[in-house]
A and B are shown apart, each in its own frame.
Chain A
Amino acid sequence: MEESAPQSTNKSSASKFLIPIAVIIIVIGIIMFATTNRKDEAVVSNKTEETYTTTEDTTQSPSDSDDTPPSTSAGTFKDGTYSSDGKYVSPGGEEKIGVTVTLADGIITDAQVETKATRPNTVRYQGMFAENFKPLVVGKKITDVELSRVSGSSLTSGGFNDALEKIKSQAKS
Chain B
Amino acid sequence: MTTGFTQQTLEAISAGEPSWLKSQRLSAWKTFEKLPLPTRRDLEWQRFDIGALKLDKVSLSADEPTIHERLSPLSAELGRKGVIFCDMATAVAKHADVLKEHLGRSIAADEPAKFSALHAALWRNGAFLYVPSNLRIEQPLEVVYEFSGQNTAGFPHTLVVVEPGAEATLVQKFVGGPRVGTNGAPSIHASGTEVFVREGGHLHYISEQNFSPNVYDFTLKRARVDRDAEIDWVLGMFGASFQRYDVQCIMEGEGGTSFMYGVGVLDHHQQFGQFTRQHHRTGNTTSDLLFKNVLRDTAISNYAGVIKVEKNANGTNAYQANRNLVLSKEVRCDTRPILEIESNQLRCTHGATVGQLEEQQLFYLRSRGLTPELARDVLIEAFLDPVLARIQVESVQQEFARLVHEKVVRKA
A and B bind: no
